[in-house]
């Protein structure tokens, strides 16, 4: 155990000290004073590090409610718990510095003591409300850099585009396009800040990125070198995009999901010309109005002209029919709060998505347009897109890890294949839990050609966990997993800041696994490549320009939902 980190018991005690006998907080106080420069610093850090989990308005989702609440007093002068407790600056500094058991990382090796103090005071202030963003605002932000008529009519390079990797360089607002065959950086392009995902066109020609600053970038790989051909802004914070994939609509439209404002936008797929904005504000599955229901994730159905749009705070899953965007038809499916990431099962019929706060996975039948099941899991499931494989005993399963618990859960999925009928009794149940050495998992990954399931732990506060991966043999899950020390294998020197081993991604052939070693902004980072069959180190990709790599998206696997 790393000295000074907040343990499970310590976190509970720290929070318990804030309560009185009836679950009430200590007497309320005024927000601590802050200068204008300090408020700007706090605002910037909150956007970069906190808003994704806690929300712009701080009402909470994956992270806790951080509303100040000092003005909402009880008759006896105390404040009632209803989100963030009035813990006081000193206690808040400890929580920010040391992290929590629920998946919040420690910031004592990311922020300075002065910045931690600023943040402890900043989150006691009333949250500022960003401006709205209209269709007119989108139109004004739209830049068509290279019109379709001026783009190549055929591929102008001789590279294997199917095995390219789009790699987020988080803190520099860039995307590295890396050749999966040669392991060479093909091009680094400017994008939005902290690109959350990259998605591929149905044709495999285009890369779409969306940054935390709401900027969508369209990159054409048919040029001699990847070229940005259009950009547009969706708002001040966004996380998800996907194209139309159904036959006859390939790449006709692109949808983008906003964190702020809470809405989704539809654009032309080849130019990003804005077409429509739809607000997601409304009622939760509990029947309460929510002012900030963010679009958590979006996937494109391959069996209907629909997108699956997951609304985080409301727990509502939308099936958006894009066959007629002037007369948009939407099916609303009630699930559970708070929706996050997810992916398809192996059949591509069922979409599986995490409801973090409810500790559930929702399974949506995209063929019937109905909820197939709500599956109870351990604390705070976080699957990324999940992982599909054939379990030796239970047949087709889909896997998710957990931010808040030390297991990987395997869920039996339904199948239309006659040979899988014998597994029907297990469908939509957690059939096995694979033990991990701690919580803090973000991604699990496998491949149809692989015998392995890879799991990371980047949100665990302990170095010995955050810098490694664990690899399970899916042919015999009774065997203990193999521990892969990614940081050690990189050959990079040990630094104060953790280098978090995050986001495993297979190459096109399914015989290599690429892992980001995400260091501090001033520390050297790397991508570490392993042979999936032998689990041996194959290549370390590092470069002074390789700054804070996080998500990596192989063109073929992303294009065809292979995971």
Residues with Cβ within 8 Å of 165's Cβ and at least 6 positions away in sequence, in order, are 177, 178, 180, 505, 507, 514, 552, 553, 554, 555
Task: Determine the Cα–Cα distance for residues 144 and 119; give it in Å rounded to an integer.
Answer: 39
Is residue 50 annotated as a catalytic residue, yes or no? yes
> Burial level of 22, CB count in 10 A (0-12/13-18/19+)?
exposed
Is residue 426 annotated as a catalytic residue, yes or no? no
Buried b (16+ CB within 10 A) or exposed e, 251-282: bbbbbbbbbbbbbbbbbbbbbbebbbbbebee
Task: Determine the Cα–Cα distance for residues 234 and 193; give it in Å rounded to an integer.
Answer: 13
Beta bridge partners of 530: 513, 537
Is residue 267 annotated as a catalytic residue, yes or no? no
Task: Determine the Cα–Cα distance for residues 248 and 272; give it in Å rounded to an integer.
Answer: 19
Q: What are phi and psi of 26, to 5 degrees?
A: -65, 160
Residue from 50, 84, 267, 457 carrying the catalytic annotation: 50
Task: Determine the Cα–Cα distance for residues 168 and 177; give it in Å rounded to an integer.
Answer: 9
Task: Determine the Cα–Cα distance for residues 40 and 21; give it in Å rounded to an integer.
Answer: 38
Residue from 53, 119, 457, 459 carrying the catalytic annotation: 53
Is residue 546 annotated as a catalytic residue, yes or no? no
Residues with Cβ within 8 Å of 419's Cβ and at least 6 positions away in sequence, in order, are none
Task: Determine the Cα–Cα distance for residues 323 and 249; give it in Å rounded to an integer.
Answer: 8
Is residue 340 annotated as a catalytic residue, yes or no? yes
Residue from 196, 290, 382, 391 carrying the catalytic annotation: 382
Is residue 290 annotated as a catalytic residue, yes or no? no
Asked whether 210 and 197 are in contact (CB, 8 A), the reply is yes
Residue from 84, 138, 290, 340 carrying the catalytic annotation: 340
Count the Cβ atoms, other than its own, within 10 Å of residue 223. Answer: 17
**How far apart, in Å, do the first and last CA atoms of the chain sit?**
33
Catalytic residue list = 50, 53-54, 104, 340, 382
């Amino acid at each position: 155990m790393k000295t000074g980190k907040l343990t499970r018991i310590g976190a509970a005690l720290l929070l318990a000290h804030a309560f009185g006998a009836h679950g009430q907080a200590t007497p309320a106080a005024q927000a601590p004073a802050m200068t204008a420069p300090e408020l700007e610093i706090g605002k910037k850090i909150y956007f970069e590090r906190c808003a994704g989990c806690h929300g712009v308005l701080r009402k909470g989702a994956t992270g806790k409610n951080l509303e100040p609440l000092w003005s909402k007093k009880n008759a006896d002068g105390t404040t009632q718990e209803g989100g963030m407790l009035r813990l006081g600056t000193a206690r808040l500094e400890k929580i920010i510095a040391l992290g929590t058991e629920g998946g919040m990382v420690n910031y004592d090796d990311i922020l300075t003591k002065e910045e931690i103090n600023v943040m402890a005071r900043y989150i006691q202030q009333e949250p500022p409300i960003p401006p709205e963003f209209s269709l007119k605002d989108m139109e004004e932000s739209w830049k068509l850099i290279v019109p379709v008529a001026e783009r190549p009519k055929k591929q102008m390079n001789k590279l294997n585009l199917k095995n390219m990797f789009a790699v987020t360089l988080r803190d520099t607002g860039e995307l590295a396009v890396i050749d999966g065959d040669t392991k060479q950086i093909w091009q680094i392009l400017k994008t939005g800040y902290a690109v959350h995902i990259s998605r591929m066109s149905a044709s495999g020609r285009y890369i779409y990125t969306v940054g935390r600053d709401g900027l969508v970038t369209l990159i054409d790989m048919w040029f001699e070198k990847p070229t940005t051909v259009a950009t547009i802004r969706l708002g001040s914070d966004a996380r998800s995009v996907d194209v139309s994939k159904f036959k006859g609509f390939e790449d006709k439209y692109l949808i983008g999901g906003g964190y702020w404002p809470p809405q989704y936008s539809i654009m032309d797929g080849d130019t990003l010309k804005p077409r429509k904005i739809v607000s997601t504000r409304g009622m939760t599955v509990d029947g309460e109005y929510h002012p900030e229901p963010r679009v958590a994730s979006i996937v494109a159905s391959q069996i209907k002209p629909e997108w699956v749009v997951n609304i985080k705070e409301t727990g509502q899953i939308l099936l958006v029919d894009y066959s007629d965007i002037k007369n948009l038809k939407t099916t609303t499916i009630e699930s559970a709060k708070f929706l996050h990431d997810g992916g398809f099962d192996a059949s591509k019929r069922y979409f599986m998505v995490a409801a973090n706060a409810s500790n559930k996975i929702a399974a949506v039948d995209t063929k019937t347009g109905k909820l197939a099941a709500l599956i109870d899991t351990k604390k705070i499931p976080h699957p990324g897109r999940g992982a599909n494989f054939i379990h030796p005993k239970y047949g087709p399963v889909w896997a998710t890890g957990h931010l808040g618990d030390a297991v990987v859960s395997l869920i039996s999925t339904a199948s239309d294949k006659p040979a899988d009928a014998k597994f029907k009794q297990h469908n939509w149940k957690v059939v096995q839990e694979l033990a991990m050495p701690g919580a803090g998992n973000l991604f699990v990954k496998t491949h149809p050609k692989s015998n392995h399931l890879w799991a990371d732990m980047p949100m665990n506060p302990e170095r010995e966990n955050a810098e490694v991966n664990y690899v399970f043999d899916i042919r015999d899950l009774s065997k203990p997993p193999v521990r892969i020390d990614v940081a050690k294998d990189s050959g990079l020197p040990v630094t104060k800041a953790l280098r978090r081993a995050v986001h495993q991604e297979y190459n096109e052939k399914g015989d290599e696994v690429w892992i980001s070693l995400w260091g501090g902004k001033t520390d050297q980072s790397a991508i570490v490549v392993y042979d999936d069959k032998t689990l041996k180190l194959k290549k370390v990709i590092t470069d002074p320009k390789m700054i804070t790599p996080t998500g990596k998206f192989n063109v073929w696997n992303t294009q065809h939902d292979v995971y």
